[in-house]
């Protein structure tokens, strides 16, 4: 298969510096799905971007070095408005999956909740999520994070079709009592969420995460936990682990694409049933129904991942939990 083409663009941002954005598009001969994966900085992002494009998804990657949470939320929304908006975006799509690593996952979760609660409803039957009133000290630090953000009122309520969280930082390494759980609990119920986490991650103790995972509204939600992997989804700096990390990154990329294919298929079926395809941008009209071949491809990817997991049993152990 041909290498996916990449394009570097600068997203203008009034009164602020332009945002560097890399667009990876499906290669020639691969039919676009009409969906995109928007990724913040993080581990294994390039591998994921190329794999997504090879399966027909546009992938947009932005860079953000400033650690301020509110700034990053604003930046992510600006990228969506400029590049991916279903009507006016430079690379318009009908839906987006948001992802990232560590702090980028907190940004993605916040943006998903903000857009769901602020945007116009585009599909029937959805109800606005209500946030829990109790907030931890860690979450209080991010309150008002999107005050300066672009409002996003004209972005469809269900524009975010799924979330991909690599190494969600539930707490700091030295304080497991102040949990950053509010963002996870506020993710709207219609938004599917995939977590990928190392069981040796000092910022996400499994026993603490499992409790929060059960209390979330997001549905369906799935967690892929890797024995021995750390916060960077690697295995430390010992000799010989570089190849092991690279192999794991490939498996993680496959799992993420399977997750996207599965939920993009569901979104297209709903759009077809409710006539949403009539209002899609010109770049995605006529693609409201996913082909049977493409659906089978998604199933094949999951089988491929299962095989990789079995083959890698001697390298790492993987456990999967799903709540529908």
DSSP 145-170: TTTTS---TTS-TT-EEEEEEES---
Is residue 99 situated within a structural domain?
yes
Least confident of 42-46, 86-90, 136-140, 160-164: 136-140
pLDDT of 206 higher than 50: yes
Can you tell me the distance from the alpha carbon of 20 to that of 51, in angstroms, rounded to the nearest whole number?
21
Confidence of residue 280 (pLDDT cuts 50, 70, 90): very low
Helix, strand or coil, per DSSP, at residue 22: strand
Q: What are the backbone angles phi and psi of residue 58, rounded to the nearest 5°?
A: -70, 140
pLDDT at 228: 85
pLDDT of 142 higher than 70: no
Structurally, the chain folds into a number of domains equal to 1
Is residue 90 situated within a structural domain?
yes
**Average pLDDT over all residues of the chain:** 79
Comparing 301 with 107, the larger pLDDT belongs to 107
pLDDT at 141: 44
pLDDT of 68 higher than 50: yes
Mean pLDDT to the nearest integer, 280-306: 51
Mean pLDDT to the nearest integer, 16-21: 89
pLDDT per position as a tens digit, 289-300? 445 555 555 565
pLDDT of 285 higher than 70: no
Least confident of 32-36, 301-305, 311-315: 311-315
Is residue 149 situated within a structural domain?
yes
- Characterize 234-269 residue by residue with b for buried, 16 or more Cβ atoms within 10 angstroms of its Cβ, and e for exposed: bbeeeeeeeebbeebbebbbbbbbbbbbbbbbebbe
- The proportion of the chain whose per-residue pLDDT surpasses 90, expressed as a percent, equals 48
Task: Tell me the CA distances in angstroms from 20 to 36, 60, 145, 248, 258, one per residue in order.
Answer: 17, 10, 21, 28, 28
Is residue 173 situated within a structural domain?
yes
pLDDT of 198 higher than 70: yes
pLDDT at 281: 47
Which of 195, 190, 145, 132 has its CA nearest to residue 168? 195
Helix, strand or coil, per DSSP, at residue 248: helix
Its domain, for residue 81, covers 7-124+141-323
Task: Tell me the CA distances in angstroms from 154 to 36, 75, 105, 150, one per residue in order.
Answer: 18, 17, 23, 11
Is residue 239 situated within a structural domain?
yes
DSSP state of 276: G
> Torsion angle, CA of 242/246/249/251, rounded to 10 degrees?
-120
Is residue 133 situated within a structural domain?
no
- The proportion of the chain whose per-residue pLDDT surpasses 70, expressed as a percent, equals 69
CATH of the domain at 259: 3.40.50.1820
Confidence of residue 144 (pLDDT cuts 50, 70, 90): very low
pLDDT per position as a tens digit, 213-260? 999 999 999 998 888 889 988 777 666 666 777 778 888 888 899 999
Confidence of residue 197 (pLDDT cuts 50, 70, 90): very high
Is residue 131 situated within a structural domain?
no
Confidence of residue 119 (pLDDT cuts 50, 70, 90): low
Tell me the whole-structure pTM to 2 decimals.
0.80
Confidence of residue 279 (pLDDT cuts 50, 70, 90): very low
Comparing 143 with 301, the larger pLDDT belongs to 301
Confidence of residue 174 (pLDDT cuts 50, 70, 90): very high
Is residue 249 situated within a structural domain?
yes
pLDDT at 215: 96
Neighbours of 172 (CB within 10 A): 13
pLDDT per position as a tens digit, 73-113? 999 999 999 999 999 999 999 999 999 999 999 999 999 99
């Amino acid at each position: 298969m041909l290498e996916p083409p990449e394009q570097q663009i600068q997203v203008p941002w009034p009164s602020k510096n332009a945002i560097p954005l890399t667009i990876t598009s499906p290669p020639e001969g691969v039919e676009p799905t009409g969906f995109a994966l928007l990724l913040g900085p993080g581990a294994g992002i390039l591998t994921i971007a190329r794999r997504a494009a090879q399966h027909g998804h546009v992938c947009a990657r932005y860079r953000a070095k400033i650690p301020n949470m509110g700034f990053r939320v604003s930046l992510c929304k600006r990228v969506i408005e400029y590049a991916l908006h279903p009507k006016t975006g430079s690379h318009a799509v009908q839906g987006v999956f948001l992802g990232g690593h560590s702090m980028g996952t907190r940004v993605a979760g916040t943006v998903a909740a903000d857009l769901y609660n602020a945007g116009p409803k585009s599909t029937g039957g959805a109800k606005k999520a209500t946030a829990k009133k109790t907030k931890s000290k860690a979450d209080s630090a991010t309150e008002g994070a999107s005050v300066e953000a672009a409002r996003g009122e004209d972005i469809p309520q269900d524009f975010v079709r799924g979330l991909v969280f690599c190494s969600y930082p539930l707490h700091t390494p030295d304080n497991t009592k102040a949990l950053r759980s509010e963002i996870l609990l506020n993710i709207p119920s219609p938004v599917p969420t995939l977590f990928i986490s190392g069981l040796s991650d000092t910022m996400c103790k499994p026993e603490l995460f499992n409790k929060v995972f059960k209390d979330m509204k997001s549905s369906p939600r799935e967690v892929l936990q890797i024995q021995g992997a750390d916060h960077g989804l690697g295995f430390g700096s010992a000799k010989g682990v570089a190849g092991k990390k690279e192999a794991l990154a490939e498996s993680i990329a496959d799992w993420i694409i399977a997750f996207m294919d599965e939920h993009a298929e569901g979104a297209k079926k709903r759009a077809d049933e409710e006539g949403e395809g009539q209002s899609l941008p010109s770049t995605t009209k006529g693609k409201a129904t996913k082909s049977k071949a493409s659906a089978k491809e998604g199933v094949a990817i999951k089988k491929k991942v299962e095989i990789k997991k079995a083959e890698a049993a001697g390298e790492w152990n993987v456990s999967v939990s799903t709540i529908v």
